Amino acid sequence: MTAYVEPSFERDTNYIDDRITKDSPTWPVEPGRYRLVVSRACPWASRLTTVRRLLGLEDAISLGVCGPTHDADSWTFDLDPGGLDPVLKMPRLKDAFENRQPGYPRGITVPALVDLPTRSVVTNDFPQMDIDLIEQWDAFHRDGAPDLYPQALRAEMDPVMKRIYTEVNNGVYRCGFAGEQPAYDAAYDRLFTALDWLEERLTDRRYLVGDHITLADVRLFTTLVRFDPVYHGHFKCNRAKLIEFPALWAYARDLFQTPGFGDTVDFEQIKRHYYVVHSDINPTGIVPKGPDLSGWMTPHGRESLGGSAFGDGTAPGAIAEGERVDPADNPAVGPDGVLHRSN
């Protein structure tokens, strides 16, 4: 019997949409109370990892990191000693969802914010979570933290971010999980129409909106950094590689070399997740050795377009030792967790 395959991909967005806010009687902003659970493989989780680092929220919200692979049941803490998250003392993220709702019926997803006193999930609603880190946790931002969602730019930012989400972030999945040729063809055309638009937009401006990095750049970067290692081949997004888009490739390198972006990227975990977990697309489970990653730290030349990464702010400080990416998984990262330019 042949398994039924959906002709076109539709993302399940039925998340736990509770929020941690300043005035919430249930989930108030409270440093030390919550743990952000991510996987470095997941682009949606990477958004939160980057925003947390850029804003300097490491002391306010702790970080739990799941391994890059999971089964149909849950993400697991297999990177930690004994396979247990050292703070939550649980082997699977599913346990935190079950603590919130026994028999939890929906997907176990990262990123998730977990309440430490009850060891239960508060929210996995990633589209709202990064905005709340910006707006609700501002009392705990580091000195010099950038304004990632400026009020004066929101009228321009919001439609840009919406198009990035629907056409690029989700567009690569629409290609990869298409179950019929017409659905794939349509998804492919939509994706590259959007990438062509971004290539043109970024030809004469350094950042997507304004003259310093914003949340729009964070949300686009997490897809761009996965494009050549995963989406180009695995998801059949193969009209062109990222390195074949002059402006987009230079823009991506500019962001990658900015503290908070490239120093949180784990290329090996990214590849292992997609090529191992998606057994319907890659039944052999073979993880490709490529692509060559040496170009990520080469000069990008974007300084000539003006602007600066952090505007009137400053770069985040050093990454805590326990949160550093393994240099074996990102050749641009040194043992100290700092990005080092290619020779």
Find out whether 205 and 305 touch, Cβ atoms under 8 Å: yes
- Chain position carrying tokens 């393994």: 326
CATH 2.30.40.10 for domain 34-140: no
Binding positions are 75
pLDDT at 3: 40
pLDDT at 4: 39
Distance CA 195, CA 23 (A): 40
**Token pair of 43, please?**
């682009």
What are the backbone dihedrals phi and psi of residue 156, each rounded to the nearest 5 degrees, phi first? -85, -40
Alpha carbon distance, N-terminus to C-terminus of the chain? 55
Helix (H) or strand (E) holding 199, with range, is helix 181-201
- Cα 39 off chain centre by: 9
Binding positions for glutathione are 75
Provide the residue ranges of all domains of the chain, joining segments of one domain with +. Answer: 34-140, 151-316
pLDDT at 6: 58
Q: What is the CATH number of domain 151-316?
A: 1.20.1050.10
Catalytic residue among 15, 34, 42, 184: 42
Distance CA 49, CA 31 (A): 17
- Please choose, from the candidates 268, 267, 228, 235, the residue with its C-alpha nearest in 3D space to the C-alpha of residue 249: 228
**Token pair of 203, please?**
């030809």
Low-confidence ranges of the chain (pLDDT < 70): 1-6, 8-13, 341-343
What single DSSP character describes residue 75?
B
**Token pair of 218, please?**
């964070």
pLDDT tens, residue by residue, 161-184: 999 999 999 999 999 999 999 999
- Please choose, from the candidates 31, 39, 55, the residue with its C-alpha nearest in 3D space to the C-alpha of residue 124: 39
42 is catalytic: yes
Helices 215-226 and 246-256: angle between axes, nearest 10 degrees:
110
| Mode of pairing for the β-strands spanning 62-66 and 112-115 | unpaired
Find out whether 36 and 59 touch, Cβ atoms under 8 Å: no
Distance CA 206, CA 259 (A): 16
Catalytic residue among 173, 188, 207, 274: 173
| 119 Rama sector, left if φ>0, alpha if ψ -120 to 50, beta otherwise | left
